[in-house]
Amino acid sequence: MKSRINDFAFKIATANGTGSASANGLIMQAIFRMGIPVTGKNLFPSNIQGLPTWYEIRVSEAGYTARTPIFDLMVALNPATFDKDVAEVTSGGWLLYDSTWPLLEEKMRHDVTYIGVPMADLCNEAFDGVRNRILMKNIVYAGVLAALLGIDREELIKLTQEKFGKKPALLESNQQAIELGYQYTAQHYKCPLPIQLERRDATKDAILIDGNTAAGLGCLYAGATVGAWYPITPSTSLMEAFTAFCQKYRVDPETKANQFAILQAEDELAAIGMVIGASWAGARAFTPTSGPGISLMNEFLGLAYYAEVPAVLFNVQRTGPSTGMPTRTQQADLLLCAYASHGDTKHINLYPADPHEAFEMAVNAFDLAERFQTPVIVLSDLDIGMNDWMVPKLTWNDMYQPDRGKVLSAEELEAAERFSRYLDVDGDGIPYRSLPGVHPKGAYFTRGSGHNKFAKYTEDGDEYQEVLDRIARKVNSARAAIPAPFVKRREGARVGLISVGGCHGACTEALDILEADGLPVDYLRVKGFPFADEVREFLDSHDRTFVVEQNRDGQLRSLLILETEVDPARLHSIRSYAGFPMSAQPIVDGVLAKVQVPA
């Protein structure tokens, strides 16, 4: 068989809570350190122990990061899902199983090569204690895969040294387990398999990081000081990351005072209330949450919008409605976040496509929230937030100055004849703000009830409308300040394709496939809401545009129709919403179903 270098995918099926996560991370990192582009997708249950979990690793010389549902090799270690896992292997592929327990001949597939390694037996002989044997079995399969795929064993050994260097006993058993798996496989099978790895130099400027860690780091760099939250998957690790970074970088070396405050709220209503209170007082404040949390925050979001208080929210989306599948990914909160709250509201939304953008957009979010004095919601998703992605190293420009917006200092207030909170002094729809405790002249009454431009209570329709109209102008003007869309036009393209956030990897891959098949397609990825003018221009310049997104109802398509008044007949929807990260083929199929490849 012809060998396939650095271009294949494999999947590891285990049970949750058995310690497989660290072995999977080890494998992925070792491949990354071999300089080969790699991505991992963790499909885990909403459970602490026992339910099935899968880890998918895709190696792609071309650097494609999207999920692929075609697996050349399955590591089937969970009896509960064994039959289903076997069925998923692509024809001509391989199946690795624990041969401590024999397989039934009649149940075996004939188009798949079975590789049995008695992992449990090996561990029972080598290690003591039930828990330890279970844990080490994971490391054994890492060793087996090193032999089968050509993962550099030295990289695995080095990684265990970095990880367990301070715990000699653990280090020793880990290295022993790698060796056990490796040696047994090398002795019993022809290694490596035709699917194999070869060292490259394609990852030296890259990192492996998850979007929640990157976003937490963005909050740190943006100078956020107050974080309020109520734990919810898949956003929890964002606040955990922020906390850890603060403990490292934000304790005053002299006074030992914390230059941060993390408030674990009693619920999401309180979390957003705390953010609003802190922002009102002049801090950069944020809350990470997921769909159910945003639902609870609606009333407060309307207040922040109408009373013009900055607030930064991260919605790490999971499947809905209701509790949905908490550990599966989706983009089904697009409409909710665009117009959250009763009344006429519209919010600035940012849509990162990967952890690198999650970092950058976290910083953008604070600048935009303070500049426009309004909530900004960063919408990532479980796939971006919790999976490790290969992205360019994060960098920082030390010239960065936070955009704190129009906030009057004590001196400015002192010098001013009069301060009116909601007066459109500069004609840009953005009024001046004052902070509590600064100067008596800055005092005003912040309220969600009807108010006029002088911040006085009003029930006068004209006065009320004047303020409401200005706010609409203000928020709409943000479309020029949000990150510009990603656009890639192709020679000869007649149709367009628009996507958002985490669909990006699948879209770029699909568009390459289509072009190779003779169908060039223009591409735009929206990075924020309200939509930049380029979005409208893109729509106008194509008779038909495909809209790719991960929800049932085509929410991005609805938003485009609502906001640009594009003819709905010109927008074709391609959707994926079963809870898995998107892959390229359904996009290719979706386009080809409507457009013929030119002869």
Partner 1 sequence: MSYITKPQAHHPSLKPNALGLTRRDYEGAITTLCAGCGHDSITAAFIQAFWELDMEPHTVAKLSGIGCSSKTPAYFLREAHGFNSVHGRMPAVATGAGAANSQLKLVGVSGDGDSLSIGLGQLCHAIRRNLNLLYVLENNGVYGLTKGQFSASADPGSLNKRGTANTMPAIDSVLLAINLGATFVARSFSGDKEQLVPLIKAGLMHKGFAFIDVISPCVTFNDHEGSTKSYAYTRRHQIEVVEADFVPGRREITVDYDPGSVKEVTLHNGDRIMLRKVAEDYDPLDRDQAYAYIRDRQKVGELATGLLYMSGMTSDMNDQLRTGDTPLTQVSHGDLCPGSAELEKLMSRYR
Q: Which of residues 41-60 bind partner 1 (CB under 8 A)?
A: none
Please report whether residue 527 would count as binding partner 1 according to CB under 8 A: no
Using omega within 30 degrees of 0 as the cis cutoff, is the peptide bond preceding 37 cis?
A: no
> Is 245 or 486 the residue whose CB approaches partner 1 more closely?
245
- The interface mask with partner 1, positions 410-449, x = CB under 8 A, is ------------------------xxxxxxxxxxxxxxxx
> Is 220 or 471 the residue whose CB approaches partner 1 more closely?
220
Amino acid at 56: E
At its nearest, how many Å lie between partner 1 and the CB of residue 208?
6
Size of the site for partner 1 (CB under 8 A): 74
Query: How far apart, in whole angstroms, are the C-alpha atoms of residue 252 and residue 243?
Result: 15
At its nearest, how many Å lie between partner 1 and the CB of residue 298?
10
Please report whether residue 202 would count as binding partner 1 according to CB under 8 A: no
> Is 98 or 388 the residue whose CB approaches partner 1 more closely?
388
Please report whether residue 275 would count as binding partner 1 according to CB under 8 A: yes
Q: Footprint of partner 1 on residues 120-179 (CB under 8 A)?
A: none
Contact status, residue 174 vs residue 164, Cβ threshold 8 Å: yes
Please report whether residue 393 would count as binding partner 1 according to CB under 8 A: yes
Q: Footprint of partner 1 on residues 299-328 (CB under 8 A)?
A: 299-300, 303
Question: Residue 241: how many CB atoms within 10 A of its CB?
Answer: 22
**Binding range to partner 1, per CB under 8 A, among 255-263, 468-476, 548-556, 582-590:** 255-263
Contact status, residue 85 vs residue 74, Cβ threshold 8 Å: yes
Amino acid at 234: P
At its nearest, how many Å lie between partner 1 and the CB of residue 255?
5
> Is 101 or 249 the residue whose CB approaches partner 1 more closely?
249
Distances (CA, A) of 249 to 213, 246, 275, 280, 361: 15, 5, 22, 25, 21
At its nearest, how many Å lie between partner 1 and the CB of residue 596?
45
Query: How far apart, in whole angstroms, are the C-alpha atoms of residue 373 and residue 461?
Result: 23
> Is 105 or 201 the residue whose CB approaches partner 1 more closely?
201
Q: Count Cα neighbours of 158 within 13 Å in the Cβ-side half-sphere.
A: 10
Question: Residue 466: how many CB atoms within 10 A of its CB?
Answer: 15
Contact status, residue 15 vs residue 82, Cβ threshold 8 Å: no
At its nearest, how many Å lie between partner 1 and the CB of residue 303?
5
Q: What is the DSSP letter of 47?
A: S
- Torsion sign, CA atoms 53, 58, 63, 64: negative
Give the DSSP H or E segment for 12: strand 7-15
Please report whether residue 596 would count as binding partner 1 according to CB under 8 A: no
Please report whether residue 347 would count as binding partner 1 according to CB under 8 A: no
At its nearest, how many Å lie between partner 1 and the CB of residue 228?
7
User: Binding residue for partner 1 (CB under 8 A) from 283, 361, 503, 547?
Assistant: 283
Query: How far apart, in whole angstroms, are the C-alpha atoms of residue 335 and residue 320?
Result: 13
At its nearest, how many Å lie between partner 1 and the CB of residue 454?
12
The DSSP annotation for 230-256 comes to: ---TTTHHHHHHHHHHHHHH-B-TTT-
> Is 398 or 462 the residue whose CB approaches partner 1 more closely?
398
User: Binding residue for partner 1 (CB under 8 A) from 11, 33, 328, 572?
Assistant: 33
Backbone angles phi, psi at 178, to 5 degrees: -60, -45
Please report whether residue 220 would count as binding partner 1 according to CB under 8 A: yes
User: Binding residue for partner 1 (CB under 8 A) from 54, 55, 94, 221?
Assistant: 221
Using omega within 30 degrees of 0 as the cis cutoff, is the peptide bond preceding 440 cis?
A: no
Residue of 432, 436, 434, 527 whose CA lies nearest to 470: 432
> Is 220 or 358 the residue whose CB approaches partner 1 more closely?
220
- Most distant pair of Cα atoms in the chain: their distance: 90
Please report whether residue 247 would count as binding partner 1 according to CB under 8 A: no
At its nearest, how many Å lie between partner 1 and the CB of residue 25?
12
